[in-house]
Structure 1
Amino acid sequence: MTVWDDVIGQPEAVETLVRAVGVPGAMTHAWLFTGPPGSGRSVAARAFGAALECPRDGCGECRECRTALDGTHADVTVVATEGLSIKVEDTRALVQEAALRPSVGAWRVIVIEDADRLTERAADALLKALEEPTPRTVWMLCAPSLEDVIITLRSRSRHVRLRTPPVEAVAALLTRRDGIDPALASYAARAAQSHVGLARRLARDEGARIRRRDVISLPGKIRTIGDAIGAAADLASIADEESSASSAERDAAERTRLMETLGADPSARTQPPHIRSQLSSLEKEQKTRATRFARDVVDRSLVDLLSIHRDALVLRLGARVDLVNQDSIDLVRSLASSHPPEVLLRAMDAIGEARERINANVPPLLALEAMTVTLQQHH
């Protein structure tokens, strides 16, 4: 066992990082990990951080490795924003932390999982820390692509590119690490298009599998404008359901913990002003998180919708490529037999445009309605 066991399908990246840990002079103070969603950017960054803290360069078994990987090591900070952006005040706090010497380990490691969400002012604050690096501090930025990070940050970082891991590698990881049945692991890895986190969720949550099935069966149901508007509402409600299911328990636990910390009486009909203000601030954070989560769910649904059209196109053109939705072959055949290639391509364009609009802050329901109406016109 080593810290690299969960960094699957990335031999070149792992080789670069192992060399940086073990070879004098190969280390640098800032790294930028890029790769498509689910490729394991933050997994690779955490493994790298663990290897730097480990006296044996990443054995995976010592206390340093275990605490660095599970997020409890005193010198390893992981920033995973749940809002829509990382603000300048958050970055300034990180820069102050980065200036401190490591307290117990060899390095102070700061991982920013969503460096593409840094606001312009936040990126400027971080730039100063990268321009004047502190000895024994290493920054690890993660983003989908180089273009998602401002040029001044990426020019001061060493780039590690990750790729989409093979379906077989993701399935093997689910079986080895999570004890998932091999057949279910294989389905989940393929349906998630090798997105490790999503594959794990599909494998473990029957509700998620049912919701995905509902999404990929939508194209066959859109015949009238009414169907199109209904389909958009269905997609939006699937996202809201999943967001609520995911956050209800966590929100309640956070509220309870805050009340305990403040010494408040949860049964009181009204709370003192200072407690009301803290609760209001927590609710605002939770709402922002729920908004982002719902958008992410909508985006995943659109990726699933894209995959069924892609499979229909593959089948229609007779291309020798594996299908994403092999387990739903009847749906794929039905879509392929009723739509010529140019119509399938136009539908894929409409889905891609909806993803871009939502990413640009267009209200999801509006973007979805525009998309489903276009699908109805072409179907």
Structure 2
Amino acid sequence: MTTTQLAPFPWSEVWGQDAAVETLRHAASDPAALSHAWLITGPPGSGRSTLAHAFAAALVAEHPGDEAVMRQVLAGTHPDVTALRTDKVIITIAEARALVERSYFAPSAGRYRVIVVEDADRMVERTSNVLLKALEEPPEQTVWVLCAPSEADLLPTIRSRVRALRLREPEVDDVARLITLRTGVDDATAEQAARHAQRHIGMAQRLATDDAARRRRDDTLRAVLGVRGVGTAVEVAGQIIQAATDDAKALTAERDAAERAALLRTVGVADGQAVPPALRSQISALEDDQRKRATRSLRDGIDRVLTDLQSLYRDVVMLQFGRDGELINRELRAELDAVAAAWPIERTLIALDAIAGTRESLERNVAPLLATESLLVTISSGRTP
């Protein structure tokens, strides 16, 4: 069993990152070991944000046993911790400037003021430059904690001003045990979810508890394996985008409605009452933020599909090299064997390259449907466009 289960609060929710936990626990307790700017990197689902907030809680608390203060930090209500997590495509300059301004305030109740940026990889160059001086010369009692998938996702000027801490990927068995503990699902379901999610804890939990998500993943992979030409490529691409769109709407619709209702209550507009002209700009700003969040949610949904497709053709490569003990999609073994036998390795590598290229296209704002159609045509033909 993963030893981090036994770590004291607030580290108890951090799984499979013993070395990182020990480094940050030591830094939080020994000022000589504390850097004033940190970068926590690791693959999606490795626990970057969980570790960052545990570190913030340990930094703010006056002593290790001060659980009340730590729980306040983890609940997002402590005045000395500012956290930014964006649901939009990018972090804006205005948001970065607000963080910098906040970073120069002295702590009001705890030992340190902590600024956590959970999605630091979503800063463009101009936004990153806003943070540079604050990272290079922060006030003595301010600690910055940035999170990103890898160091390469940030500018070299940012990387040179932080202490980097790389997380390891948890093992499938570790994630499965955690999912069973959290959700109560049986061991087989938890193992399959952890494997299909490629050890991403959040996605594994969703797959383990959502029958529709499991069916959608299986249907998508089988549909892609059945693509035989341009006609079916276009049809399946449309199905993938529609499913991702529906999923994004389901995830954001309830939150959008709640935000709009809360804003109207704040400004004194009753349910069903027309919005006064003077307040329409606020409603428009909220709707603009919600559209940006919906765009990000759709992109994230498509990226999850691309991750699943990557695992599919990764399995094919493994079989072509005679390694069948580490398959992610074991439930599709017959179909994988058929593709591995029919394709040369070069064609499988073209498919994997095309998936990576599609990710880059989506980051450049290429229309998702066109990018997905192009990907499936390339996979079905075995030829680069």
The two structures have a TM-score, normalised by structure 1, of 0.94
Match of 2:354 among 344, 350, 353: 350
Match of 1:248 among 242, 247, 253: 253
Asked if the contact 2:313–2:351 (Cα under 8 Å) also holds between the matched residues in 1, the reply is yes
Letter in 2 for 1:22: S
Aligned position for 2:33: 26
In the alignment, is residue 333 of structure 1 matched against residue 340 of structure 2?
A: no
Asked if the contact 1:187–1:327 (Cα under 8 Å) also holds between the matched residues in 2, the reply is no
State the Cα deviation string for residues 214-242 of structure 1 (Å, max 9, x = none).
22112322112110111111111111011
Aligned position for 2:215: 210
Q: State the secondary structure of the residue aligned to 1:5.
A: helix
Aligned position for 2:14: 7
Q: Where in structure 2 are the equivalents of 1:166-205 lying within 5 Å?
A: 166-205=171-210
Asked if the contact 2:24–2:55 (Cα under 8 Å) also holds between the matched residues in 1, the reply is yes
Structure 1 residue 160: deviation in Å? 0.4
Q: State the secondary structure of the residue aligned to 1:223.
A: coil
State the Cα deviation string for residues 6-38 of structure 1 (Å, max 9, x = none).
222222212211221223400111001111122
Structure 1 residue 321: deviation in Å? 4.0
Q: State the secondary structure of the residue aligned to 2:33.
A: coil
Letter in 1 for 2:27: A
Moved more, 341-350 or 288-297: 341-350
| CA–CA separation in structure 2 for the residues paired with 1:333 and 1:280 | 53
Aligned position for 1:287: 291
Identity of aligned residues (%): 47
Moved more, 14-23 or 238-247: 14-23
Asked if the contact 1:33–1:159 (Cα under 8 Å) also holds between the matched residues in 2, the reply is yes
Letter in 2 for 1:281: A
**Structure 1 residue runs of 4+, over 6 Å off?**
none
| CA–CA separation in structure 2 for the residues paired with 1:196 and 1:277 | 39
Letter in 1 for 2:262: R
Aligned position for 1:161: 166
Match of 2:57 among 50, 63, 80: 50
| CA–CA separation in structure 2 for the residues paired with 1:125 and 1:224 | 48
| CA–CA separation in structure 1 for the residues paired with 2:75 and 2:214 | 28
State the Cα deviation string for residues 35-89 of structure 1 (Å, max 9, x = none).
11221111111111112123443x5x81122122222222112100111111111
Letter in 2 for 1:262: V
Match of 2:84 among 63, 79, 100: 79
| CA–CA separation in structure 2 for the residues paired with 1:361 and 1:256 | 31
Asked if the contact 2:171–2:199 (Cα under 8 Å) also holds between the matched residues in 1, the reply is yes
Letter in 1 for 2:111: A
Moved more, 169-178 or 104-113: 169-178
Letter in 2 for 1:129: A
Asked if the contact 2:115–2:143 (Cα under 8 Å) also holds between the matched residues in 1, the reply is yes
| CA–CA separation in structure 2 for the residues paired with 1:274 and 1:373 | 51
Aligned position for 2:47: 40
| CA–CA separation in structure 1 for the residues paired with 2:303 and 2:290 | 20
| CA–CA separation in structure 1 for the residues paired with 2:221 and 2:63 | 48
Letter in 2 for 1:54: A
Moved more, 315-324 or 91-100: 315-324
| CA–CA separation in structure 2 for the residues paired with 1:292 and 1:280 | 18
Asked if the contact 1:309–1:335 (Cα under 8 Å) also holds between the matched residues in 2, the reply is no
| CA–CA separation in structure 2 for the residues paired with 1:257 and 1:68 | 24
In the alignment, is residue 106 of structure 1 matched against residue 114 of structure 2?
A: no
Aligned position for 1:66: 71
In the alignment, is residue 236 of structure 1 matched against residue 224 of structure 2?
A: no
| CA–CA separation in structure 2 for the residues paired with 1:93 and 1:224 | 51
Match of 1:146 among 148, 151, 158: 151
Moved more, 338-347 or 307-316: 338-347
| CA–CA separation in structure 1 for the residues paired with 2:136 and 2:314 | 45
In the alignment, is residue 313 of structure 1 matched against residue 317 of structure 2?
A: yes
Unaligned runs of 5+ in 1: none
Structure 1 residue 208: deviation in Å? 1.3
Asked if the contact 1:264–1:275 (Cα under 8 Å) also holds between the matched residues in 2, the reply is no
Moved more, 118-127 or 327-336: 327-336
| CA–CA separation in structure 1 for the residues paired with 2:160 and 2:338 | 49
Q: State the secondary structure of the residue aligned to 1:25.
A: helix
Moved more, 9-18 or 246-255: 9-18
| CA–CA separation in structure 1 for the residues paired with 2:146 and 2:57 | 16
Asked if the contact 1:67–1:73 (Cα under 8 Å) also holds between the matched residues in 2, the reply is yes
Q: State the secondary structure of the residue aligned to 1:159.
A: strand
